[in-house]
Chains A and B, each alone.
Chain A
Amino acid sequence: AQSVTQLGSHVSVSEGALVLLRCNYSSSVPPYLFWYVQYPNQGLQLLLKYTSAATLVKGINGFEAEFKKSETSFHLTKPSAHMSDAAEYFCAVSDRGLTGGGNKLTFGTGTQLKVEL
Protein backbone atom coordinates (compact mmCIF):
# COMPACT_ATOMS: atom_id res chain seq x y z
CA ALA A 1 0.00 0.00 0.00
CA GLN A 2 1.14 3.50 -0.67
CA SER A 3 0.60 6.63 1.35
CA VAL A 4 1.80 10.18 1.83
CA THR A 5 2.12 12.21 4.98
CA GLN A 6 2.10 15.98 4.90
CA LEU A 7 3.57 17.49 8.04
CA GLY A 8 1.68 20.58 9.13
CA SER A 9 -1.88 21.18 8.08
CA HIS A 10 -1.26 24.95 8.19
CA VAL A 11 1.90 26.84 7.30
CA SER A 12 2.28 30.60 7.54
CA VAL A 13 5.10 32.59 5.95
CA SER A 14 5.85 36.23 5.31
CA GLU A 15 5.81 37.57 1.79
CA GLY A 16 9.29 37.14 0.35
CA ALA A 17 10.25 34.34 2.73
CA LEU A 18 11.11 30.76 1.86
CA VAL A 19 8.22 28.37 1.46
CA LEU A 20 8.79 24.79 2.61
CA LEU A 21 5.95 22.28 2.57
CA ARG A 22 6.83 18.79 3.72
CA CYS A 23 5.78 15.49 2.22
CA ASN A 24 6.95 12.00 3.08
CA TYR A 25 5.81 8.98 1.15
CA SER A 26 5.53 5.27 1.59
CA SER A 27 5.43 2.98 -1.42
CA SER A 28 6.31 -0.63 -2.11
CA VAL A 29 7.50 0.21 -5.62
CA PRO A 30 9.42 3.19 -6.99
CA PRO A 31 6.81 5.91 -6.92
CA TYR A 32 5.58 8.68 -9.11
CA LEU A 33 5.12 11.77 -6.92
CA PHE A 34 3.08 14.88 -7.48
CA TRP A 35 2.24 18.22 -5.94
CA TYR A 36 -1.13 19.75 -6.65
CA VAL A 37 -2.42 23.18 -5.67
CA GLN A 38 -5.99 24.16 -4.91
CA TYR A 39 -6.99 27.80 -4.94
CA PRO A 40 -10.20 28.82 -3.17
CA ASN A 41 -13.36 27.51 -4.85
CA GLN A 42 -11.40 25.74 -7.55
CA GLY A 43 -10.34 22.24 -8.44
CA LEU A 44 -6.82 20.95 -8.02
CA GLN A 45 -4.18 21.68 -10.62
CA LEU A 46 -0.82 20.07 -11.11
CA LEU A 47 2.20 22.01 -9.82
CA LEU A 48 4.91 19.50 -10.63
CA LYS A 49 5.64 15.81 -10.90
CA TYR A 50 8.49 13.36 -10.34
CA THR A 51 8.58 10.33 -12.64
CA SER A 52 12.11 8.95 -12.08
CA ALA A 53 14.04 11.36 -14.27
CA ALA A 54 15.81 14.27 -12.52
CA THR A 55 15.43 14.23 -8.74
CA LEU A 56 15.03 18.01 -8.62
CA VAL A 57 11.80 18.89 -10.32
CA LYS A 58 10.75 22.38 -11.32
CA GLY A 59 7.12 23.31 -11.59
CA ILE A 60 4.94 26.28 -12.30
CA ASN A 61 4.99 29.58 -10.40
CA GLY A 62 8.58 29.14 -9.21
CA PHE A 63 7.97 26.02 -7.13
CA GLU A 64 10.30 23.05 -7.07
CA ALA A 65 10.60 19.78 -5.22
CA GLU A 66 13.40 17.34 -4.62
CA PHE A 67 12.95 13.58 -4.53
CA LYS A 68 15.10 12.05 -1.80
CA LYS A 69 14.84 8.29 -1.78
CA SER A 70 16.95 7.88 1.37
CA GLU A 71 14.57 10.12 3.29
CA THR A 72 11.42 9.02 1.43
CA SER A 73 10.63 12.69 1.01
CA PHE A 74 9.39 15.03 -1.68
CA HIS A 75 9.29 18.46 -0.06
CA LEU A 76 7.98 21.45 -1.98
CA THR A 77 9.90 24.73 -1.88
CA LYS A 78 9.80 28.22 -3.28
CA PRO A 79 12.56 30.74 -2.54
CA SER A 80 10.30 33.76 -2.14
CA ALA A 81 6.62 33.61 -1.25
CA HIS A 82 4.08 35.80 -2.95
CA MET A 83 0.60 36.67 -1.75
CA SER A 84 -0.83 34.80 -4.72
CA ASP A 85 0.71 31.56 -3.41
CA ALA A 86 -1.87 31.37 -0.64
CA ALA A 87 -3.72 28.12 -1.33
CA GLU A 88 -3.96 24.52 -0.21
CA TYR A 89 -1.26 22.16 -1.42
CA PHE A 90 -1.57 18.42 -1.78
CA CYS A 91 1.16 15.86 -2.16
CA ALA A 92 0.20 12.67 -3.99
CA VAL A 93 1.81 9.33 -4.80
CA SER A 94 1.01 7.00 -7.66
CA ASP A 95 1.91 3.37 -7.84
CA ARG A 96 3.57 3.09 -11.21
CA GLY A 97 3.44 -0.68 -11.20
CA LEU A 98 -0.17 -0.86 -12.24
CA THR A 99 -1.46 -4.24 -13.41
CA GLY A 100 -4.95 -3.27 -14.39
CA GLY A 101 -5.97 -2.19 -10.93
CA GLY A 102 -6.56 1.38 -11.92
CA ASN A 103 -5.17 4.60 -10.66
CA LYS A 104 -3.93 4.44 -7.11
CA LEU A 105 -3.15 8.10 -6.91
CA THR A 106 -3.22 8.63 -3.15
CA PHE A 107 -3.40 12.15 -1.77
CA GLY A 108 -2.12 13.58 1.47
CA THR A 109 -4.40 15.53 3.76
CA GLY A 110 -3.20 18.87 2.46
CA THR A 111 -1.30 21.89 3.78
CA GLN A 112 -2.93 25.29 3.85
CA LEU A 113 -0.36 27.96 3.03
CA LYS A 114 -0.95 31.45 4.35
CA VAL A 115 1.20 34.33 3.15
CA GLU A 116 1.33 37.43 5.32
CA LEU A 117 2.54 40.92 4.54
Chain B
Amino acid sequence: EAQVTQNPRYLITVTGKKLTVTCSQNMNHEYMSWYRQDPGLGLRQIYYSMNVEVTDKGDVPEGYKVSRKEKRNFPLILESPSPNQTSLYFCASSFRGLAGGPTGELFFGEGSRLTVL
Protein backbone atom coordinates (compact mmCIF):
# COMPACT_ATOMS: atom_id res chain seq x y z
CA GLU B 1 0.00 0.00 0.00
CA ALA B 2 1.34 3.40 -1.01
CA GLN B 3 1.76 5.53 2.05
CA VAL B 4 3.63 8.18 3.99
CA THR B 5 4.36 7.05 7.53
CA GLN B 6 5.12 9.41 10.38
CA ASN B 7 6.25 8.59 13.90
CA PRO B 8 5.40 9.33 16.59
CA ARG B 9 1.76 10.22 16.03
CA TYR B 10 1.53 11.89 19.42
CA LEU B 11 4.26 13.29 21.62
CA ILE B 12 4.41 15.41 24.74
CA THR B 13 7.82 16.76 25.61
CA VAL B 14 9.46 19.53 27.59
CA THR B 15 11.25 22.67 26.48
CA GLY B 16 14.78 22.03 25.28
CA LYS B 17 14.61 18.25 24.94
CA LYS B 18 15.73 17.33 21.43
CA LEU B 19 13.32 15.25 19.41
CA THR B 20 13.00 13.78 15.95
CA VAL B 21 9.86 13.08 14.00
CA THR B 22 10.46 10.47 11.35
CA CYS B 23 8.86 10.35 7.92
CA SER B 24 9.11 7.56 5.40
CA GLN B 25 7.43 7.07 2.00
CA ASN B 26 7.27 3.95 -0.13
CA MET B 27 6.31 5.56 -3.46
CA ASN B 28 9.81 6.40 -4.71
CA HIS B 29 8.95 10.11 -4.63
CA GLU B 30 11.76 12.58 -5.24
CA TYR B 31 10.10 15.44 -3.41
CA MET B 32 9.32 15.53 0.32
CA SER B 33 8.17 18.31 2.57
CA TRP B 34 7.20 19.12 6.15
CA TYR B 35 4.24 21.31 7.10
CA ARG B 36 2.82 22.48 10.36
CA GLN B 37 -0.89 23.05 10.83
CA ASP B 38 -2.17 25.59 13.32
CA PRO B 39 -5.77 26.76 13.87
CA GLY B 40 -6.64 29.70 11.67
CA LEU B 41 -3.31 29.56 9.85
CA GLY B 42 -3.77 26.55 7.59
CA LEU B 43 -0.66 24.63 6.58
CA ARG B 44 2.70 26.31 6.46
CA GLN B 45 5.76 24.76 4.90
CA ILE B 46 8.77 24.22 7.17
CA TYR B 47 11.35 22.57 4.91
CA TYR B 48 11.34 20.68 1.66
CA SER B 49 13.65 18.41 -0.29
CA MET B 50 13.84 18.01 -4.04
CA ASN B 51 16.01 14.90 -3.85
CA VAL B 52 18.61 13.11 -1.76
CA GLU B 53 21.02 15.57 -0.09
CA VAL B 54 19.00 18.53 -1.45
CA THR B 55 16.99 20.45 1.14
CA ASP B 56 15.78 24.02 1.46
CA LYS B 57 13.83 26.25 3.80
CA GLY B 58 10.12 26.77 3.51
CA ASP B 59 8.16 29.61 5.03
CA VAL B 60 8.69 28.84 8.73
CA PRO B 61 12.04 27.04 9.14
CA GLU B 62 13.20 28.63 12.41
CA GLY B 63 13.84 26.07 15.14
CA TYR B 64 13.82 23.08 12.80
CA LYS B 65 16.35 20.98 10.94
CA VAL B 66 15.98 18.28 8.33
CA SER B 67 18.15 15.81 6.48
CA ARG B 68 17.67 13.69 3.36
CA LYS B 69 20.25 10.94 3.33
CA GLU B 70 17.97 8.40 1.69
CA LYS B 71 15.24 8.92 -0.86
CA ARG B 72 12.49 7.38 1.27
CA ASN B 73 13.23 9.17 4.58
CA PHE B 74 12.95 12.80 5.60
CA PRO B 75 13.20 13.30 9.37
CA LEU B 76 12.28 16.55 11.10
CA ILE B 77 14.54 17.52 13.98
CA LEU B 78 13.73 19.93 16.76
CA GLU B 79 17.07 20.58 18.47
CA SER B 80 15.65 22.61 21.35
CA PRO B 81 11.85 22.58 21.24
CA SER B 82 9.90 25.53 22.59
CA PRO B 83 6.20 25.89 23.41
CA ASN B 84 5.54 27.83 20.18
CA GLN B 85 6.41 24.66 18.30
CA THR B 86 3.37 22.94 19.75
CA SER B 87 1.50 22.02 16.60
CA LEU B 88 0.25 19.32 14.25
CA TYR B 89 2.98 18.31 11.82
CA PHE B 90 2.53 16.70 8.42
CA CYS B 91 5.02 15.10 6.12
CA ALA B 92 4.15 14.98 2.43
CA SER B 93 5.72 13.65 -0.75
CA SER B 94 5.24 13.78 -4.49
CA PHE B 95 6.79 12.93 -7.81
CA ARG B 96 8.61 15.52 -9.81
CA GLY B 97 6.80 16.91 -12.84
CA LEU B 98 8.01 17.25 -16.42
CA ALA B 99 9.44 20.69 -15.74
CA GLY B 100 11.59 19.33 -12.93
CA GLY B 101 9.64 20.71 -10.04
CA PRO B 102 7.15 18.77 -7.92
CA THR B 103 3.72 18.18 -9.35
CA GLY B 104 1.99 19.73 -6.36
CA GLU B 105 -0.09 16.59 -6.00
CA LEU B 106 1.03 15.76 -2.50
CA PHE B 107 0.57 12.58 -0.53
CA PHE B 108 0.31 13.25 3.19
CA GLY B 109 1.09 11.28 6.29
CA GLU B 110 -1.49 11.08 9.07
CA GLY B 111 0.18 13.76 11.15
CA SER B 112 2.19 14.02 14.35
CA ARG B 113 0.69 16.02 17.18
CA LEU B 114 3.45 17.58 19.25
CA THR B 115 3.01 19.34 22.57
CA VAL B 116 5.95 21.18 24.11
CA LEU B 117 5.51 22.08 27.79
Residues of A at the B interface (CB closer than 8 Å) are 9, 32, 34, 36, 41-46, 49, 90, 92, 94, 96, 98, 100-103, 105, 107-110
Chain B: how many interface residues by the 8 Å CB criterion?
Answer: 28
B48, B100, B106, B109: the one within 8 Å of A100 (CB): B100
Are B41 and A43 in contact, CB atoms less than 8 angstroms apart? Answer: no
Residue pair B90, A44 in contact (C-beta under 8 Å): yes
Residues on the A chain within 8 Å of B83, using CB: none
In the bound assembly, the distance between CA atoms of A3 and B53 in angstroms comes to 29
> Is B43 a contact partner of A107 (Cβ separation < 8 A)?
yes
Closest chain B residue to A44, Cβ basis: B108
Q: Using Cβ atoms and an 8 Å threshold, which residues of chain A touch B33? A: 103, 105
Chain A min CB distance to B43 (Å)? 4
A107 contacts across to B, CB distance below 8 A? 35, 42-44
Cα(A109)–Cα(B31), bound, Å? 23
Other A-B contacts than A44-B108, A101-B101, 6 sampled, CB-CB below 8 A, are A43-B4, A43-B111, A44-B43, A100-B101, A105-B102, A105-B104
- How would residues 72 to 109 of chain B score, 1 for a CB under 8 Å from any chain A CB and 0 otherwise? 00000000000000000010101000011110111011
> For residue B40, which residues in chain A have a CB less than 8 angstroms away from its CB?
9, 109
Does B62 have its Cβ within 8 Å of any Cβ on chain A? no
Residues of chain B touching chain A, judged by Cβ–Cβ distance below 8 Å, are 4, 31, 33, 35, 40-45, 48, 50, 56, 58, 90, 92, 94, 99-102, 104-106, 108-111
Question: Is B102 in contact with A103, judged by CB distance below 8 angstroms?
Answer: yes
Q: Are A90 and B110 in contact (CB under 8 A)?
A: no
Closest chain B CB from A89 CB (angstroms): 11
Q: B110 contacts which chain A residues (CB < 8 A)?
A: 41-43
- On whether the beta carbons of A103 and B94 are closer than 8 Å, the reply is yes
- Return B80 CB to nearest CB of chain A, in Å: 26
A94 to B40, CA, bound (A): 21
- A49 proximity list for chain B (CB < 8 A): 104-105
Are A45 and B108 in contact (CB-based, < 8 A)? Answer: yes
> Inside 8 A of A32's CB, which chain B residues have their CB?
104
